[in-house]
């Protein structure tokens, strides 16, 4: 009578198999994360591309002028952002028609409309954020209105621009405050001038990749006129505090009205010709100044 023996894994063999599986998972996870981030970054770039096309379509219907980044109406400052007028050009005219152009952005029916969330206004790489007051839906992209004199001073850049676009201590960009900008006024070249860019994660305050627990000063939603920003650069300080404006830390330092993203190494930006480019956070300050200003006559370097 024959005897059949049943063979199983020994404890050592089982531990070896588990170790091999753990190693394979360890090798696979970074690759999966890279693929996910690449897809998220591409989706973010597509969002910006849609806004670039929208603003060009708006200009085509309005004397070849880009809209003001924000406007004052009847003495009321920050009355409305450029975003409501762009809705019709990103296939959201049904929401755009609800907007009352005679009422401030955060009152009445406009406040209700500003609670409407759009995937187009949100970068999928953005980390968790706190809810904005009054249910305002988030927005990770802002108009790049200008670059301030203190940026030039802090970064040792000579000759603050004083051509037609200079307004006090600001050298204006492609989407200026209060007035529509003729495309022909962008004499530095539309391919060399940023239109809108990432300032992601608001209202949660992020500083160099870490959430601090506090809110940013402003720019809490896609309809908020303060989502647009003028560039200062910052001097990093105590985490969770308002860092000193006017400094050498210029991209991915703070999302408190500065260039900021959750992509490794830089931010996405839509330029005035409608193209979308990745701007590295290692960019030279003088080059960043060149691609923000619209008519300073400066020539950008590598970015």
Confirm whether 276 is domain-assigned: yes
How far apart are alpha carbons 265 and 42 in whole angstroms? 15
Mean of pLDDT values over 185-205: 97
Mean of pLDDT values over 57-66: 97
Confirm whether 300 is domain-assigned: no
Confirm whether 12 is domain-assigned: no
Q: How many residues does the chain have?
A: 303
Question: How many distinct structural domains can be found in the chain?
Answer: 1
Euclidean distance between the first and final Cα of the chain, in Å? 81
Segment 39-49, tens digit of pLDDT: 899 999 999 99
Average pLDDT, the chain: 91
pTM of the model: 0.88
Q: Please, which pLDDT band fits residue 25 given cuts at 50, 70 and 90? A: confident
The backbone torsions φ and ψ at residue 190, rounded to the nearest 5 degrees and listed phi first, read -65, -30
Confirm whether 4 is domain-assigned: no
- The residue whose two tokens read 């591309």 is 49
Beta bridge partners of 73: 76
Short-list 55, 68, 30, CA closest to 179: 68
Instruction: Provide the residue range defining the domain that includes 269.
Output: 33-292
Residues 6+ apart with CB under 8 A from 225: 69, 70, 71, 78, 79, 80, 81, 105
Segment 220-234, tens digit of pLDDT: 999 999 999 999 999
Inter-residue contact 259 to 283 (CB < 8 Å)? no
Confirm whether 23 is domain-assigned: no
Confirm whether 287 is domain-assigned: yes
Inter-residue contact 104 to 110 (CB < 8 Å)? yes
Confirm whether 24 is domain-assigned: no
| Statement: residue 32 has pLDDT above 80 | no
- Taking only Cα atoms into account, the Rg of the chain, rounded to an integer number of angstroms, comes to 23
Which burial class, exposed, middle or buried, applies to 115 when counting CB atoms under 10 A from its CB (0-12, 13-18, 19+)?
middle
| E-assigned strand segments in the chain | 65-66, 70-73, 76-81, 141-148, 166-167, 170-172, 181-182, 194-198, 204-207, 210-215, 229-231, 234-235, 244-245, 266-271, 276-280
Inter-residue contact 229 to 278 (CB < 8 Å)? no
Q: Please, which pLDDT band fits residue 217 given cuts at 50, 70 and 90? A: very high
């Amino acid at each position: 009578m024959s005897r059949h023996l049943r063979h199983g894994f020994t404890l050592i063999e089982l531990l070896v198999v588990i170790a091999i599986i753990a190693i394979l998972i360890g090798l696979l996870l970074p690759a999966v994360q890279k693929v996910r981030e690449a897809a998220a970054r591409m989706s973010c770039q597509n969002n910006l591309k849609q806004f670039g096309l929208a603003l060009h379509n708006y200009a085509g219907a309005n004397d070849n002028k880009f809209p003001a980044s924000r406007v004052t109406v009847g003495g009321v400052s920050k009355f409305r952002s450029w975003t409501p007028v762009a809705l019709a050009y990103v296939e959201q005219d049904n929401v755009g028609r609800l907007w009352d152009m005679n009422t401030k952005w955060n009152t009445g029916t406009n406040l209700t409309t500003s609670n409407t969330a759009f995937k187009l206004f949100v970068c999928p790489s953005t980390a968790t954020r706190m809810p904005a007051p009054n249910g305002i839906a988030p927005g990770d992209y802002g108009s790049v209105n200008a670059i301030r004199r203190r940026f030039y001073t802090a970064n040792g850049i000579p000759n603050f621009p004083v051509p037609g676009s200079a307004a006090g201590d600001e050298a204006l960009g492609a989407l200026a405050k209060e007035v529509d900008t003729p495309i022909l006024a962008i004499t530095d070249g539309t391919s060399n001038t940023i239109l809108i860019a990432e300032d992601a994660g608001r209202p949660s305050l992020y500083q160099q990749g870490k959430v601090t627990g506090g809110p940013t000063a402003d720019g809490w939603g896609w309809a908020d006129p303060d989502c647009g920003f003028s560039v200062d650069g910052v001097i990093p300080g105590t985490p969770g505090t308002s860092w000193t404006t006017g400094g050498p830390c210029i991209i991915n330092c703070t999302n408190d009205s500065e260039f900021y993203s959750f992509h490794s190494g830089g931010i996405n930006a839509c330029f005035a010709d409608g193209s979308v480019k990745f701007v590295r956070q290692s960019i030279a300050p003088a080059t960043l100044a060149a691609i923000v200003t619209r008519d300073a006559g400066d020539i950008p370097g590598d970015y």
